[in-house]
Amino acid sequence: MYPSDFPQFQTAAGTIVARRDGRVVRATGIRYARAKRFQYPEPEPVAASPIVATAPAPACPQVADARLDEVLGDLYQELTFSEDCLRLSVTLPADADPAEQLPVLVWVHGGSYVTGAGDLSIYDPTALVTEQRVVFVAVTYRLGLLGFLGSEGGTPPNLGLLDLLEALRWVQRNIAGLHGNPALVTLLGHSSGADAIAQLMLTAEASSLFRRVVLHSAPLGITRHRRAMSRAMVAAAGPLSALGPVGEVLARESSVTKSVRRFGLKSGMPFGPQYGAPPLPPETAVEETWAAVAPQFDVLIGATAEETRFFAVIEPSLNRLLRLPLLGAPVVRLLTTLSSNAIYLHPAIAFARRHAQAGGRAYHFLVHFQPTGSPFGAAHTIDLPLLLGTEASWAATPLLGQTKWAEFNEAARQVRQLWAGFARTGSLPAPVEVPGVLSLRQVSKAE
């Protein structure tokens, strides 16, 4: 049973029982769909009894990466793992009025399609929600072999993308009951989450599910021409049991990852969407489809200035190179520049240019913040605390170095204001410079 003073919301899904948490209300761990292993998601039916949404969504079972723990802390200390992970969590201002119909930001977490969860503490949206009066929806979906590898006649490809579509349909049906405006839905994603959003723009019903996208550090430079690698991964995975312990699937996933290292940069993120399988068009039609749908979406896309420095610091072999006297640091800087440009920076600019030339509104940003005393510089993930998380959640990480939270948060407040403004209107007062942190400009059709 739940206390009588817990907030209750009447939605199409049923009565949702949430909890107050200071200045916000959280409705967490709500099922949007169910799926048997390696099967398509089925939307959650209307609940006959109240939906008690007071526990975090479980994370999808995944292979642990100790390197991430060293950088980002114990991310999963408050979460469980379960294949019953097709859940979402909604955060809204505690004083929200039903008549406000606030803009909605749907968060799609990153993690190379193999790690992460919607309810990690570093993704706490309290500051964004309370300062900017938005409704924030964090989605958890299937990863790795459970969600992003398939073949004709075998496991269906793109199950994780199909999960996300079910979550977005749930938002359209229910978010008004949680004080959100279904006509003002913006997708916000980081890394593989941003890539997933770019792929969702290609789907037939995208324009009925969201209006705007914010893409942080999408690895668009390594998401194409992956058919041969995917075939090799399917062969390495072999037949997978739909009934055995999930640990057996995860063990096979580790073997699959190691088997495709010969594919170069793409093997750094071997799992991901597969073109030509529902809900995506054939790869030959991707560019023309993005161009065709451009007028339907407003786009804000960008990256950090030294994206792959993150991996140079956490990858043992590159870290050893970094520590070599004289040549080590210059060589790593060169490798960082080349790989960051190829995977993240140049593809982001190309995406924005194509979108603008095809009649869509596009903005491009670059995060150049370099924390004092941090080996990471303006690396991958340095943009996350500008939007999400708290001092407590980020203080446990070495990412921000010796940066004083109060000073950093003042700059972050400006970024949150810009991003929320984009979610409301689709436009920004570009060009903008947040000194020492971020630059932003509108991309024109003439570029």
Q: What does the pLDDT look like over 70-119, one tens digit per residue?
A: 778 778 888 999 999 999 999 999 999 988 999 999 999 999 999 999 99
Which of 306, 307, 339, 355 does the annotation list as catalytic?
307
Contact in structure between 110 and 189 (CB atoms under 8 Å): yes
Number of domains in the chain: 1
Whether residue 99 is contained in a domain is answered as yes
Whether residue 419 is contained in a domain is answered as yes
pLDDT of residue 2: 64
Whether residue 54 is contained in a domain is answered as yes
* Closest CA relative to residue 391, chosen from 122, 132, 21: 122
Tell me the CA distances in angstroms from 26 to 45, 50, 89, 92, 190, one per residue in order.
22, 15, 7, 7, 22
pLDDT of residue 287: 97
Token output for 11: 């939605």
Active site (annotated) includes residue 355: no
Which of 267, 306, 380, 393 does the annotation list as catalytic?
380
Which of 191, 192, 217, 374 does the annotation list as catalytic?
191
Contact in structure between 203 and 38 (CB atoms under 8 Å): no
- What's the CA gap between 196 and 135, in Å, rounded? 21
Helix ranges, 113-158 (H) = 126-132, 144-147
Whether residue 1 is contained in a domain is answered as no
Whether residue 2 is contained in a domain is answered as no
pLDDT of residue 316: 62
Whether residue 136 is contained in a domain is answered as yes
Q: Which amino acid is at 1?
A: M
Q: In what order do the strands lie in the sheet with 19-21?
A: 19-21, 24-31, 87-93, 135-139, 102-108, 180-190, 212-216, 298-304, 361-367, 438-443, 432-434
Residues in the chain: 447
- What's the CA gap between 380 and 311, in Å, rounded? 8
pLDDT of residue 280: 98
Contact in structure between 28 and 119 (CB atoms under 8 Å): yes
pLDDT of residue 302: 98
Cis amide bond preceding 279, omega within 30? yes
pLDDT of residue 319: 64
Question: In the 8-state DSSP scheme, what is residue 27?
Answer: E
Q: In what order do the strands lie in the sheet with 8-11?
A: 8-11, 14-17, 51-52
Contact in structure between 135 and 104 (CB atoms under 8 Å): yes
Active site (annotated) includes residue 191: yes
- What's the CA gap between 185 and 165, in Å, rounded? 13
3-state class (DSSP) for residue 83 = coil
Query: Residue 80: which domain range?
Result: 8-443
DSSP 101-136: -EEEEEEE--STTTS--TT-GGG--HHHHHHHT-EE
- Tell whether the torsion through CA atoms of 144, 227, 297 and 344 is positive or negative: positive
3-state class (DSSP) for residue 18 = coil
Q: Which residues of the chain have pLDDT under 70?
A: 1-4, 316-324, 326-328
CATH number at residue 39: 3.40.50.1820
* Closest CA relative to residue 301, chosen from 345, 336, 265: 345
